[in-house]
Structure 1
Amino acid sequence: MYAKYMKRLLDILLSLTILIVLSPLLLVLCILVRSKLGSPIFFQQERPGLHEKIFTMYKFRTMTDKRDAEGNLLPDKDRLTKFGKLLRATSLDELPEFFNILKGDMSFIGPRPLLVSYLPYYTETEALRHTVRPGLTGLAQVSGRNFLDWDRRLAKDVEYVKGLSFQMDLKVLFLTVKVVFDRSDVAEDTSQAEGNFARIRQERLDRTGRLEA
């Protein structure tokens, strides 16, 4: 009952309420991002959602468009500003995802949506993460956040899916608030960690001929 009906209803009511309450903050952040980092204000990227349906996820941009003499974008670390690091450290860059929740692309709690290019590299068990809507936060994020290795992170996603309940969502929500305010287990630059996923899985596939751990 909760997973099928109540969870989505709560997502709609809470996301709409939060967007209304935080509208002044969102306006201020839009102005600051535009003045400090340029346009577009929002970072948009395709991610797989429920049943692997592709959707566009929104965040506030945290990097500039600085380029080298040949016109190529500089590495992420050279484009990530102090203001961008602040947005990431405080999770303020995630606020536009409330629009994704309202639309039904995402939920408040669920496995974080990863890159579309990772889809071929999940094991059959890990692919269960796509049988629920992806979340703004999830069990993996409050169990070590960006410092869990990929196998343990995906195992936490599967654990969440198999144990999905109102009590589980309350637990994750409580731990998320704690993690954000403690600013614990936060990695300022996760691009390298995310970039390693496909490489690690491809190496395992080349070595063993299968993805199962």
Structure 2
Amino acid sequence: MRAHRWERAWKALQNGARAWERPSAKRVLDLVLGSLLLALAAPLLAAGALTLALATRRHPGGVLIRSPRIGLGGRLFVLRSLRTRRLRLDLLSRLPHVVRGDLSLVGPEPLTPDAGTPETATATAARHWRQELKPGLTGLAQVRSRSGMPWDEPALLDQHYAEHHWVGLDLAILAGAVHTPLRRAIRGPTRRGKAHLSDTDHRRCGYIAAE
């Protein structure tokens, strides 16, 4: 009888050891940097939530926006964001999802369950690599989309990230996500002239983004 008990205990220990996986470098980055950012942003988020709570007394709607999204392995989760875009508080309010593991700091945009409809061949192919990667708080598509280049299609950039992602690329994307808004805030609005024409202005007649 004791032998059977020891055997069951040993099997349970082996199963537990197999179930535990060493966290990847990406997950360690999410936990460490995500927790640090959340601690730094907590006072600002609390102030924003309080302001929204006072405002929603006159205009009902709640402090948080809740939206179902598709996560790793096709698992559904509810994404919670503050109902404001000032100072990017809506983005910062998603940091608990990073610490919890629903999101990564960097990754493809978290899609809604109905984002794949109507069904297309492109949507079907994208679904496979999306299910193997956590969606991100920010990503290559969000950073590069500000460049205005015609080949910077979000879906293609997300797929490129999925095929080539590593911690160094994550750090570069995070640096870009912080650097661009700061540079714009320091420089202020710029006048549009010939020296600031984007590549969009030079597209040939009949240009199609999918080319």
What TM-score range do you get, normalising by the shorter chain? 0.5 to 0.7
Which residue matches 2:97? 100
Tell me which of 28, 35, 50 is aligned to 1:31: 50
Which residue matches 2:142? 141
Structure 1 segment 177-196 matched on structure 2, within 5 A: 177-182=178-183
Q: CA deviation at 1:148?
A: 7.8
Q: Is the 8 A contact 1:91 1:180 kept in 2?
A: no
Which residue matches 1:17? 36
SS at match of 2:140: coil
Q: CA deviation at 1:151?
A: 8.7
Whole-angstrom CA distance in 2 between matches of 1:104 and 1:19? 14
The verdict on how the C-alpha distance between 1:46 and 1:147 changes in structure 2, with shifts beyond 3 A counting, is farther
Q: Is the 8 A contact 1:46 1:116 kept in 2?
A: yes
Whole-angstrom CA distance in 2 between matches of 1:36 and 1:148? 39
For 2:132, the aligned partner's letter is: T
Whole-angstrom CA distance in 1 between matches of 2:116 and 2:100? 23
The structure whose Rg is larger is 2
Whole-angstrom CA distance in 1 between matches of 2:31 and 2:150? 32
Whole-angstrom CA distance in 1 between matches of 2:152 and 2:124? 10
Tell me which of 110, 113, 137 is aligned to 1:113: 110
Alignment gaps of 5+ in structure 2? 1-22, 186-209
Q: CA deviation at 1:175?
A: 1.0
Q: Is the 8 A contact 2:66 2:80 kept in 1?
A: yes
Q: CA RMSD in A?
A: 2.9
The verdict on how the C-alpha distance between 1:52 and 1:150 changes in structure 2, with shifts beyond 3 A counting, is farther
- TM-score by length of structure 2 reads 0.66
Structure 1 segment 50-89 matched on structure 2, within 5 A: 50-62=72-84, 87=86
Which residue matches 2:65? 43
Q: Is the 8 A contact 2:145 2:152 kept in 1?
A: no
Q: CA deviation at 1:131?
A: 1.4
Choose between structure 1 and 2 for higher RCO, CA contacts under 8 A separated by at least 6 residues.
1
Q: Is the 8 A contact 1:126 1:154 kept in 2?
A: no
- TM-score by length of structure 1 reads 0.65
Whole-angstrom CA distance in 2 between matches of 1:119 and 1:151? 20
The verdict on how the C-alpha distance between 1:59 and 1:48 changes in structure 2, with shifts beyond 3 A counting, is same
SS at match of 1:58: strand
Q: Is the 8 A contact 2:141 2:152 kept in 1?
A: no
Identity value in percent: 29
Whole-angstrom CA distance in 1 between matches of 2:115 and 2:147? 17
The verdict on how the C-alpha distance between 1:52 and 1:146 changes in structure 2, with shifts beyond 3 A counting, is farther
Q: CA deviation at 1:119?
A: 3.0
